[in-house]
Amino acid sequence: MSRKRIVVLGGGTGGTMAANRLRRRFDEDEAEIHVVDHDDRHVYQPGLLFVPFGLAQVAEIVRPRSRQLRKGIAFHENEVEAVWSERDEVLLDDGTALPYDVLVVATGVRLQPGETEGLTGPGWNERAFTFYSPEGAAQLQRALDGFEGGRLVVNLVDMPIKCPVAPLEFAFLADWYLRERGIRSRTELVYSTPLDAAFTKPIASEHLAGLLSEREIELVTEFNAAEVDGVGGKLVSYDERELDFDLLVTVPLHGGAPYVERSPGLGDALGFVPTDRRTLQTPVKPNVFALGDATDLPTSKAGSVTHFEAEVLTENVVRYFAGEELDAGYDGHANCFIETGFHKALLIDFNYETEPLPGRFPAAFGLPLLRESRLNHLGKLMFQWVYWHALLPGREIPGLGPAMPMGGKKHIPIHA
Return the biggest CA–CA distance within the chain: 69
Q: Does 77 bind ligand FAD (CB under 6 A)?
A: no
Cβ-contact 138, 55 below 8 angstroms: no
Q: Does 10 bind ligand FAD (CB under 6 A)?
A: yes
Query: Which of 56, 82, 108, 332 is in the footprint of ligand FAD by CB under 6 A?
Result: 108
Q: What are phi and psi of 247, to 5 degrees?
A: -140, 125
Q: Does 409 bind ligand FAD (CB under 6 A)?
A: no
**Rounded distance between C-alpha atoms, residue 208 and residue 370, angstroms:** 9
Which amino acid, residue 69? L
DSSP string for 300-335:
-B-HHHHHHHHHHHHHHHHHHHHTPPPP------EE
Alpha-carbon separation of residue 101 from 5, 85, 86, 273, 361 (angstroms)? 5, 10, 12, 19, 39
Helix (H) or strand (E) holding 359: strand 359-361
CA 140 to chain centre: 20
Q: Does 157 bind ligand FAD (CB under 6 A)?
A: no
Cβ-contact 215, 172 below 8 angstroms: yes
Size, binding site for ligand FAD by CB under 6 A = 36
Q: Does 166 bind ligand FAD (CB under 6 A)?
A: yes
Going 341 to 346 to 351 to 356, the CA torsion angle's sign is negative
Are β-strands 367-369 and 359-361 bridged in parallel, bridged antiparallel, or unpaired?
antiparallel
Closer of 165 and 233 to ligand FAD (Cβ): 165
Least CB distance to ligand FAD at residue 189 (A): 18
**Rounded distance between C-alpha atoms, residue 256 and residue 295, angstroms:** 8
Q: Does 38 bind ligand FAD (CB under 6 A)?
A: yes
Q: Does 203 bind ligand FAD (CB under 6 A)?
A: no
Q: Does 280 bind ligand FAD (CB under 6 A)?
A: no
- How does 68-102 read in b/e, with b if 16+ C-beta sit within 10 Å? bbbeebebbebbbbbbebeebbbbbeeeeebebbb
In sequence order, the β-bridge partners of residue 7 are: 34, 103
Least CB distance to ligand FAD at residue 142 (A): 18
Q: Does 15 bind ligand FAD (CB under 6 A)?
A: yes
The window from 32-40, 185-193, 264-272, 351-359 that contacts ligand FAD (CB under 6 A) reads 32-40
The window from 45-53, 151-159, 268-276, 408-416 that contacts ligand FAD (CB under 6 A) reads 45-53
The window from 22-30, 106-114, 214-222, 275-283 that contacts ligand FAD (CB under 6 A) reads 106-114
The window from 43-51, 187-195, 203-211, 407-415 that contacts ligand FAD (CB under 6 A) reads 43-51
Q: Does 46 bind ligand FAD (CB under 6 A)?
A: yes
Q: Does 6 bind ligand FAD (CB under 6 A)?
A: no
Cβ count within 10 A of residue 355: 17
User: What is the per-residue binding string for ligand FAD in 303-332, x denoting contact by CB under 6 A?
Assistant: xx-x--------------------------
Q: Does 14 bind ligand FAD (CB under 6 A)?
A: yes
Measuring CA to CA, which residue among 251, 268, 272, 270 is closest to residue 106?
Answer: 272
Closer of 207 and 237 to ligand FAD (Cβ): 207
Query: Which of 293, 315, 349, 372 is in the footprint of ligand FAD by CB under 6 A?
Result: 293
Closer of 167 and 233 to ligand FAD (Cβ): 167
Q: Does 132 bind ligand FAD (CB under 6 A)?
A: yes
The window from 19-27, 190-198, 290-298, 342-350 that contacts ligand FAD (CB under 6 A) reads 290-298
Q: Does 359 bind ligand FAD (CB under 6 A)?
A: no
Query: Which of 22, 73, 80, 392 is in the footprint of ligand FAD by CB under 6 A?
Result: 80
**Rounded distance between C-alpha atoms, residue 170 and residue 99, angstroms:** 43
Question: Could you list the residues that contact ligand FAD (CB under 6 A)?
Answer: 10-15, 36-39, 45-46, 48-49, 79-80, 106-108, 131-132, 162-163, 166, 257, 259, 292-294, 301-304, 306, 336-337
